Amino acid sequence: GEDVEQSLFLSVREGDSSVINCTYTDSSSTYLYWYKQEPGAGLQLLTYIFSNMDMKQDQRLTVLLNKKDKHLSLRIADTQTGDSAIYFCAVVSGGSYIPTFGRGTSLIVHP
């Protein structure tokens, strides 16, 4: 089955850019998602990209997809303290509708 990997922690200074990385194993992946989990809350969809796209930009968020390397990244420009949260990568592979989640990356933003 699909395996999704993320690093567990990322620490950045306020105002810098953050880049959260994710790798996956199934080349038939169709939909790739980024979810955000704030403390004490459930996950909320942040953005997504289809497998036929290389890049998607949405205000401060940029998603890059490298299908050859099976690598997905989320860039947050001008990172704010309110961006401190856990970010989950999730991948839906061809033949299944159930997403596989990574373990989540804790983003810590220092003033």
Partner 1 sequence: NAGVTQTPKFQVLKTGQSMTLQCAQDMNHNSMYWYRQDPGMGLRLIYYSASEGTTDKGEVPNGYNVSRLNKREFSLRLESAAPSQTSVYFCASQEGGEQFFGPGTRLTVL
> Rounded CA gap, 83 and 57, in Å?
17
User: Where in 82-101 is the site for partner 1 (CB under 8 A)?
Assistant: 88, 90, 92, 97-99, 101
Residue 103, interface with partner 1 (CB under 8 A)?
yes
**Residues that contact partner 1, how many (by CB under 8 A):** 22
Phi-psi region of 61 (alpha: psi -120 to 50; beta: other; left: phi over 0): beta
Helix, coil or strand: residue 34: strand
**List 15, 28, 45, 77, residue binding partner 1 (CB under 8 A):** 45
> Rounded CA gap, 90 and 87, in Å?
10
Positions touching partner 1 (CB under 8 A) are: 8, 30-31, 33, 35, 40-45, 48, 88, 90, 92, 97-99, 101-104
